[in-house]
Structure 1
Amino acid sequence: MTVTAGGTSRPTLLLVHGAWHGSWCWDGLRAVLDADGWTTRTVDLPSAGREAGVRDDAQAVLDELKRIDGPAVVVAHSYGGIPVTQAVAEAPDVTRLVYLAAYQLDVGEGLLAYHGAPVPPDPGGFQPVPDGPVPMFYADVPGPEAARAAERLVPQSTRSFSDTLTRAAWRSVPSAYVVCEHDRALPPQYQEELSAKSDVVHRVASGHSPFLSMPVELAALLAEIVLGPFD
């Protein structure tokens, strides 16, 4: 928890990345938030690079939340919305959830099932980094930065896409959804459908990774979501 100069307390922001990524993707946004007086934390989900599933990722989120002193707001990007939805249902001091172009699913749902894709009977192994990751994930990110980000992507555990939720935190914790209107990875029509579960919905004119393409604007929006009225 951060206390500002005026004495107002702010929750810690826990930033949870999506598939194929790591906590490194938040560095630019964290710099902006830190400069504005926020305390931020990140977590590396084990399913990015290791054979792990949603439960393993959810446990990693829970373990990080336990290290935070005071209330927290969890910001989940893309696939990260799935383990966050599972984990926060068991976390006592999370005041809000923010789904950033993320999968806000319900109990019994998983990523593959949501898209109507077949779930393999033995979901071992990995999903390789998609072909053309720059136009998919970083279409509006400056070229050199987009190339550096693409080089850091790692294979994603197939099991994380196959697993389904047993709990849904957004049913008891207030949630906001940020639709990325120019997203090529999770198209906006899916995000609009997913966002129907949230209490409030915001929209930004960005691709899939606004933490890289527009960190200043995203930081301001997160501050508005966290500190403003929630209705």
Structure 2
Amino acid sequence: MRDSIIAFAALAAASSATGPIAAAEENKPTIVLVHGAFADSSSWDGVTNLLLKSGYPVVAVANPLRSVSSDAGYVASVVESIDGPVVLVGHSYGGAVISAAANGAENVKSLVYVAAFAPEAGESAADLSGKFPGGTLGEALAAPVKLADGNVDLYIDQAKFHGQFAQDIPAEQAVLMAAGQRPITEAALTESAGEPAWKALPSWFVYGEADKNIPAQALGWMAERAQSKGTVAVDGASHVVMVSHPDKVAEIIEQAAAN
């Protein structure tokens, strides 16, 4: 699976358009997409395609998945390099990253959590995963890979990837995603969050009712706590709701962009 670092938006369409249409496209915020653990930036391809067709500039960031603080610093640098307003979107662990990255970023206008963690200060992804019953990620992990710095990388067992992570997409597609999955350090999942940006910025949430990584009950609870401006729970959708239902995810991102 390719791991594109940056996917840019419809510059050709914007440059060839004239008059009110061009002005409208130029005024649209840039959508910055941040993937989570066990995925890569290509997991946003379906959503990116729809956003580009709607005239939004898009940047799909290659999240390092090393620690919340360092990953957030990297995403914040990408956001800082963008002229104009930004809608920051995070999937899964990427939610913790955008919650930190948006702090102090004056051009971030809204946040979108896609089957994502929205931690309070002091909480970790691991804490939130176990807050409500139903999550089975721990049972699906492969043997950890030991790193030279003493940390470990975590992967989902490829044989269990489809059923655990992406049960609502074709098996052939899940096999490719499993082979190309990006690992996350155990330290990143247990790192406590700082003050979250969702307390200061409007946020939107979308997730699958059949999520096995983060129980739907936990996702709904986080959305309510963050006083979500709009929440969509997709019936039967897995943890990779942006892959299986890109239309629903793109729609709520566009709602956040229009706010």
TM-score of Structure 1 vs Structure 2, range by shorter chain:
0.7 to 0.9
Stretch of structure 1 that moved more, 207-216 or 37-46: 207-216
User: Aligned partners of 2:127, 2:248: CA distance in 1, in Å?
Assistant: 33
Q: Could you say which residue in structure 1 is the equivalent of 2:163?
A: 135
Q: Could you say which residue in structure 2 is the equivalent of 1:22?
A: 40
Q: Could you say which residue in structure 2 is the equivalent of 1:167?
A: 195
| CA distance 1:227–1:137, shift in 2 (3 Å) | same
Tell me, yes or no, if the aligned pair for 2:30 and 2:59 is still in contact at 8 Å. Answer: yes
| CA distance 1:210–1:114, shift in 2 (3 Å) | closer
User: Aligned partners of 1:116, 1:217: CA distance in 2, in Å?
Assistant: 27
Tell me, yes or no, if the aligned pair for 1:123 and 1:158 is still in contact at 8 Å. Answer: no
- 1:95 and 2:109 equivalent? yes
CA RMSD of aligned residues (A): 2.3
2:255 pairs, out of 218, 224, 231, with: 224
Amino acid in structure 2 at the alignment position of 1:202: V
Q: Could you say which residue in structure 1 is the equivalent of 2:215?
A: 187
Unaligned runs of 5+ in 1: none
- 1:214 and 2:230 equivalent? no
Q: Could you say which residue in structure 1 is the equivalent of 2:67?
A: 53
- 3-state DSSP of counterpart to 1:109: coil
- 3-state DSSP of counterpart to 1:166: coil
State the number of aligned residues.
220
TM-score, L = length of structure 1: 0.86
- 1:202 and 2:225 equivalent? no
Amino acid in structure 2 at the alignment position of 1:214: H
- 1:75 and 2:113 equivalent? no
Q: Which has the larger radius of gyration?
A: 2
Deviation at 1:77, TM superposition (A): 0.6
Tell me, yes or no, if the aligned pair for 1:77 and 1:99 is still in contact at 8 Å. Answer: yes
Tell me, yes or no, if the aligned pair for 2:128 and 2:218 is still in contact at 8 Å. Answer: no
User: Aligned partners of 2:108, 2:114: CA distance in 1, in Å?
Assistant: 17
TM-score, L = length of structure 2: 0.78
Tell me, yes or no, if the aligned pair for 1:81 and 1:99 is still in contact at 8 Å. Answer: yes
- 1:113 and 2:127 equivalent? yes
Give the fraction of aligned pairs with identical amino acids, expressed as a percent.
Answer: 28
| CA distance 1:116–1:183, shift in 2 (3 Å) | closer
Q: Could you say which residue in structure 1 is the equivalent of 2:145?
A: none
Amino acid in structure 1 at the alignment position of 2:100: Q
Deviation at 1:195, TM superposition (A): 1.0
Tell me, yes or no, if the aligned pair for 1:112 and 1:162 is still in contact at 8 Å. Answer: yes
Tell me, yes or no, if the aligned pair for 1:96 and 1:174 is still in contact at 8 Å. Answer: yes
Tell me, yes or no, if the aligned pair for 1:129 and 1:156 is still in contact at 8 Å. Answer: no
Deviation string, structure 1 residues 205-226 (Cα, Å, up to 9, x no partner) = 3221122112233223322332
